[in-house]
Amino acid sequence: SQTIHQWPATLVQPVGSPLSLECTVEGTSNPNLYWYRQAAGRGLQLLFYSVGIGQISSEVPQNLSASRPQDRQFILSSKKLLLSDSGFYLCAWRRYLGAGMNTEAFFGQGTRLTVV
Amino acid sequence: DAKTTQPTSMDCAEGRAANLPCNHSTISGNEYVYWYRQIHSQGPQYIIHGLKNNETNEMASLIITEDRKSSTLILPHATLRDTAVYYCIVRVAGRGSTLGRLYFGRGTQLTVWP
């Protein structure tokens, strides 16, 4: 069966420090991968989207970057955190079955980041 | 950007059916309707999806109007554990850089009361 791992669960970082959140998926290959952020009381905002190794699409201009060094590994990074980067970060994957085929997305348990 | 409109909040008595509406008046012919829910401080959980026919699974039923401009998620016998934010999403099938994205709005906070 497929599983998604996201860590750490919680993180408190000072302003200006770097960030690295990691997400890995097991039990599948060539998944679509996503990073979302949820600010307090808000919906989920899509940050990055990847269809393959080294292929990253950015949804909004921001202080963050993403990388996909391996097929089932998705990393969210920042060189210098801002207060506004605080939020709940979620990684998700979706199986790609072919053009026009629809599948659901599966989410990790999230990382709650507090920038102080 | 989210292409759906949902009420901010709804209440439901335990054991009764919860009917959650969603408007997606600009939906295109190749866009599916997806429902997810998010229990506080957890990742969203997939519930159900459909294109134009009504769908049912072990969690819920999805009723899509004939013009596809709105849909209703039905939890037939709501329990306290169904208290969550419910998201209605429309998305295009596909994989490329402009397709396959999942855009979430603010969803509906469903509170099930004992």
Chain B residues whose CB is inside 8 A of the A90 CB are 43-44
pLDDT in tens, B92-106: 655 543 445 677 778
Q: Which two tokens stand for residue A32?
A: 């679509």
CA distance B57 to B47: 8
In this prediction, residue A77 carries a pLDDT of 96
CB pairs under 8 A between A and B: 68
Chain B residues whose CB is inside 8 A of the A31 CB are none
Chain B residues whose CB is inside 8 A of the A96 CB are 95, 100
How would residue A86 be classed by pLDDT, with cut points 50, 70 and 90?
A: very high
CA distance B73 to B60: 7
pLDDT in tens, A90-103: 999 988 766 556 67
Q: Are B93 and B30 in contact (CB under 8 A)?
A: yes
In this prediction, residue B31 carries a pLDDT of 82
Q: Are A50 and A58 in contact (CB under 8 A)?
A: no
Q: Which of A31-40, A52-61, A102-111, B94-103 has the lowest mean pLDDT?
A: B94-103
Cβ of B106 under 8 Å from any chain A Cβ? yes
Burial B48-68 (b: 16+ CB within 10 A, else e): bbbeeeebeeeebbbbbeeeb
Q: Counting beta carbons within 10 angstroms of the beta carbon of residue B18, is it exposed (0 to 12), middle (13 to 18) or buried (19 or more)?
A: buried
CA distance B90 to A68: 26
In this prediction, residue B2 carries a pLDDT of 56
Chain B residues whose CB is inside 8 A of the A42 CB are 106
**Beta-carbon separation of B49 and A34 below 8 A:** no
Cβ of B44 under 8 Å from any chain A Cβ? yes
Residue of B nearest to A5 (CA): B43
More confident residue, B95 or A37: A37
Residue of B nearest to A50 (CA): B97
